[in-house]
Structure 1
């Protein structure tokens, strides 16, 4: 296994980033009255998954901080799922798109939990 040098090399980051891009493009067709509500919220939470992962990566020398930021990232992913549910209920996205993105965030959450549970694999050895 090659050494990961940047958060951008993490598979979970790459998947979360692609999901956030997709959400941005999908929300461009949401009604304008949702601009400062649902559109803003779902974009922010999906992007925050990535931002918290980047912070976690930089804090990995401190295992408790690393796990805390991974937890924040997980929470943002779950929040994004809630906004996906609202988007579907309001008929801004169809069921297939909802289910695909919801499942993608389930996979992201699973990867984050695995990282948290195996944090010693990601944190540098203390000397």
Structure 2
């Protein structure tokens, strides 16, 4: 049985445009090769140091990871915690409560990806 989307109200051109804008904004914030991987690792591991985070994501360079973390912090998905009372200074990254609101989205994307992969394999 095909899944159908039921809209409570008719979709107008304005509402469609608005929804597309929201989707574009979402993809802009979490899109790219690394952001969701970083978010998922942080959600699974809790507090994690930079080098450990880098080892958890094969193929990511330190420079790219640093830039992505800054972006994610700016958007409220990651919190950088500095423990200055320790020698050497320890910096950890944690996912925020706001970041955890993405969990249902990540699960939905994963489920869709699994279904899509199965469908593609059946057609070829």
Q: Same fold by TM-score, threshold 0.5 exceeded?
A: no
Structure 1 length normalisation: TM-score? 0.29
Structure 2 length normalisation: TM-score? 0.30
**Structure with more of its chain in helix, by fraction:** 1
Between 1 and 2, higher relative CO (CA 8 Å, sep ≥ 6) is seen in 1
